[in-house]
Structure 1
Amino acid sequence: MTKTGIDRRALMQLTGMGLAALTTVSMAPGRAVAQSGAAWDKTFPQSETIDHEKVSFTNRYGITLSGDLYLPSDRSGPLPALAIAGPFGAVKEQSAGLYAQTMAERGYASIAFDPSFVGESGGMPRQVASPDINTEDFSAAVDYLGLHPEVDRERIGIIGICGFAGMALNAVAADKRVKAVATTSMYDMTRVMARGYDDAMTPEQRTQALTDMSRQRWTDAEAGTPALAGGLPETLDGVDNPVIRMYFDYYKTPRGFHERSVNSTTGWTVTNPLSFMNMPILTYIDQISPRPMLLIAGENAHSLYFSEDAFAAAAEPKELMVIPGADHVDLYDQTDIIPFDRLAEFFASHLA
């Protein structure tokens, strides 16, 4: 057990380590297609003051990404814009969409998108993640926003949630078009997969995890499809782990369940962590400067240390905002806890 009473083995499975670790449209690049008239399929109510449309665009690897674009109904362009994704294993109809719609209510053109290989976005096989490709996905969303006729391409920011917060910081370090970045409940997925929670993975455990996943590749190749690690339990019977119960309460209940969410359904592939374990994505976090960074985390979140360490490693200007009494998942959807006013102030100041 960790200092917060968390079972590392169970949590590694949820973040993509799997059993091996610790035991659509074809388009030319840069083009975007709008899909109007789609039924509301989100886990949050639709705002009456926002215009919404489903859109598609391609990333640098030719993968078609699916997004939900939210625009204030009462608008006069060009607008500041935000690209939003996360949490890790979620889809745009969950937390990212809530953030995008709420920020659109505050005057931003906001796009929530599904990363490559999950949700309605393209890429094969399914239910895998990549620190490189998913970082690129953010920049592809910036491509899309910068070509939108109602967006001021010189006023684009990014919001990353949970595991995609780390990818967001990595994207902004390289993509100098982005003027400001904010994260909530940040995970550094490369760190947690490479070292375990609280960096507690031993060298022997790491070697065993890589050995098991390496051999799993033969099994997958023979089967012709990658094995899935499995996700959250179907019930909480006999489950006393507080973090698993916390995730269950979001992903497996009407509060946040979505049929396309990795975390609500099958979980990631067993071999998903392979590309994460040797590729630390926050190596160049100091190169986000002089553009500003806002890191938001819950006081009671098991993931708080990721934001604290990222803040320590980053250069000014930077801000760490710790929300009293909040846990990790509270910042997914609890609108009375998520500091949307501070987010609006932050981006208003730095996307001016």
Structure 2
Amino acid sequence: MNVVAEADRAVSRQEGADTGRRNLLKLTGLGIAAMTGAMTTGSAFAQRQESLGDKWDKTFPKSSRVNHTKVVFKNRYGITLAADLYQPKGTRGKLAALAVSGPFGAVKEQSSGLYAQTMAERGFITLAFDPSYTGESGGEPRNVASADINTEDFSAAVDFLGLHPNVDRNRIGVIGICGLSGMALTAASSDSRIKAVATASMYDMSRSISRGYKDGYTLEQRHKIIDYLSQQRWVDAENGRYGLGYHEVPFDANGNIVKGQRVLPETLPSNADPVLAAFFDYYRTPRGFHPRSINSTTAWTATTPVSFFGFPMYANVGMISPRPILLIAGENAHSRYYSEDVYKGASDPKELLIVPGADHVDLYDQADKIPFDRLTAYFNRHLV
């Protein structure tokens, strides 16, 4: 049973029983907090948060320098998100805060949690969250990604942080890792409460899914994917459930659509592509495996690409200015061109940091390569 979904139903029952009071609270600041789910003192939210437990199940060691708490909050679509809140010990007054998520298909117990905990050690209050429909967050069906809703998730995280008593709501930034980077930039382009945004190993999921690696899909291939997705919708409608099987590289050597139940194979082929091998080494080995991670154990729903064909990420990236952007990419990363292209298209102030000797996946968890000093200096400079 999905404890998050079950707790969501408890929240709905509680909200239904308390409609009159909630309508009155809508007129107050307390009501705004309740509607966003930032206040978790109500019995239903307390039940939801308690159902998540507080067991340390991360892929990285727990720090003795921060306090960790599991929290829940709602986004604008009414989906309850689960997150890990990290607060530095021994600090006083209101602090700057960071919302962190990614990579695409990962969970907060993996890379985003590592970033969040490390930045909390450096004096920030941080929130690593599972995007809607994944991990411990709510939303049905499971294993769905949405360019729109996952962008909203970042703004909902800002809602939560801005209502936290220890956070200075005028000093909130975001970090997007890999495929959630595009959502972070898109959120910042329409949410001026985000005062600074940073990305690591950026992937533009709209561009990747709809156009392929380095825009390599032909027009015929793009139509072929759309036809497959369209026909899959008939299959899902007839079956009454959503089939799994989306692959980021959807064509086999013969040009046929690839279907399957896993993002990554059970075992790595002996002649595996280096990029596949790098992802496998993180998600499918003890280094980064997590049972709730889509990339570690299963696949996205087959129709997940639909919204990414119709929703270009960060189309309004120029609107982030005069707020700053920091783009971090590995020197040897196959995805490096995404960061470079955003840098070319974005307005000042902007920074592009290329990490020598690093590949795409190195920036997930290799502390000797992730430029935490630069991230700290960047946010200290701009979250003032």
> What are the within-5 Å matches in structure 2 for residues 84-163 of structure 1?
84-163=100-179
Q: Deviation digits for residues 194-227 of structure 1, max 9, x if unmatched?
A: 1111001000000010001100011111122111
Which stretch has the larger CA shift, 131-140 or 30-39?
30-39
What is the alpha-carbon distance in structure 2 between the residues aligned to residue 270 and residue 296 of structure 1?
31
Runs of 4+ residues over 2 Å off in structure 1:
24-29, 31-37
What is the alpha-carbon distance in structure 2 between the residues aligned to residue 99 and residue 347 of structure 1?
13
Please, which of 164, 176, 190 is the counterpart of residue 180 of structure 2? 164
Please, which of 61, 82, 86 is the counterpart of residue 70 of structure 1? 86
What is the alpha-carbon distance in structure 1 between the residues aligned to residue 304 and residue 310 of structure 2?
13
What is the alpha-carbon distance in structure 2 between the residues aligned to residue 328 and residue 237 of structure 1?
20
What is the alpha-carbon distance in structure 1 between the residues aligned to residue 310 and residue 76 of structure 2?
22
1:287: which partner in 2? 319
What is the alpha-carbon distance in structure 2 between the residues aligned to residue 77 and residue 267 of structure 1?
43
**Structure 2 SS opposite 1:179:** strand
| Aligned residues of 1:67 and 1:112 also touching (Cα < 8 A) | yes
What is the alpha-carbon distance in structure 1 between the residues aligned to residue 269 and residue 351 of structure 2?
40
What is the alpha-carbon distance in structure 2 between the residues aligned to residue 67 and residue 161 of structure 1?
16
**Aligned partner letter, 2:334:** H
> What are the within-5 Å matches in structure 2 for residues 11-90 of structure 1?
24-25=7-8, 26=11, 29-32=35-38, 33=40, 35=49, 38-90=54-106
**Structure 2 SS opposite 1:67:** strand
> What are the within-5 Å matches in structure 2 for residues 176-191 of structure 1?
176-191=192-207
**Structure 2 SS opposite 1:181:** strand
**Structure 2 SS opposite 1:264:** helix
What is the alpha-carbon distance in structure 2 between the residues aligned to residue 349 and residue 180 of structure 1?
10
How many Å apart are 1:237 and its aligned residue? 3.2
TM-score relative to the length of structure 2: 0.84
| Aligned residues of 1:117 and 1:126 also touching (Cα < 8 A) | yes
TM-score relative to the length of structure 1: 0.92
What is the alpha-carbon distance in structure 1 between the residues aligned to residue 116 and residue 238 of structure 2?
42
What is the alpha-carbon distance in structure 2 between the residues aligned to residue 266 and residue 219 of structure 1?
20
| Aligned residues of 1:162 and 1:185 also touching (Cα < 8 A) | yes
How many Å apart are 1:56 and its aligned residue? 0.1
**Aligned partner letter, 2:336:** L
Please, which of 165, 186, 190 is the counterpart of residue 174 of structure 1? 190
Q: Deviation digits for residues 5-35 of structure 1, max 9, x if unmatched?
A: xxxxxxxxxxxxxxxxxxx342653123374
How many Å apart are 1:238 and its aligned residue? 3.2
1:241: which partner in 2? 273
2:215: which partner in 1? 199
What is the alpha-carbon distance in structure 2 between the residues aligned to residue 181 and residue 265 of structure 1?
30
Higher helix share: 2
1:299: which partner in 2? 331
What is the alpha-carbon distance in structure 2 between the residues aligned to residue 239 and residue 109 of structure 1?
44
**Aligned partner letter, 1:31:** G
Please, which of 250, 254, 258 is the counterpart of residue 282 of structure 2? 250
RMSD: 1.1
How many Å apart are 1:231 and its aligned residue? 1.2
**Aligned partner letter, 1:280:** P
What is the alpha-carbon distance in structure 2 between the residues aligned to residue 119 and residue 31 of structure 1?
18
What is the alpha-carbon distance in structure 2 between the residues aligned to residue 243 and residue 63 of structure 1?
34
| Aligned residues of 1:29 and 1:59 also touching (Cα < 8 A) | no
How many Å apart are 1:124 and its aligned residue? 0.7
Q: Identity over aligned residues, as a percent?
A: 63
| Aligned residues of 1:250 and 1:257 also touching (Cα < 8 A) | yes
**Structure 1 SS opposite 2:96:** strand
How many Å apart are 1:75 and its aligned residue? 1.1
Please, which of 265, 273, 282 is the counterpart of residue 297 of structure 2? 265
**Structure 1 SS opposite 2:206:** helix
Count matched residues. Answer: 329
1:344: which partner in 2? 376
Q: Which sections of structure 2, spanning at least 5 residues, go unmatched?
A: 1-6, 16-33, 41-45, 246-261
What is the alpha-carbon distance in structure 1 between the residues aligned to residue 229 and residue 312 of structure 2?
19
What is the alpha-carbon distance in structure 2 between the residues aligned to residue 144 and residue 56 of structure 1?
9
Q: Deviation digits for residues 226-282 of structure 1, max 9, x if unmatched?
A: 111121011113342111100000000010000000100111111100110121112
**Aligned partner letter, 1:132:** D
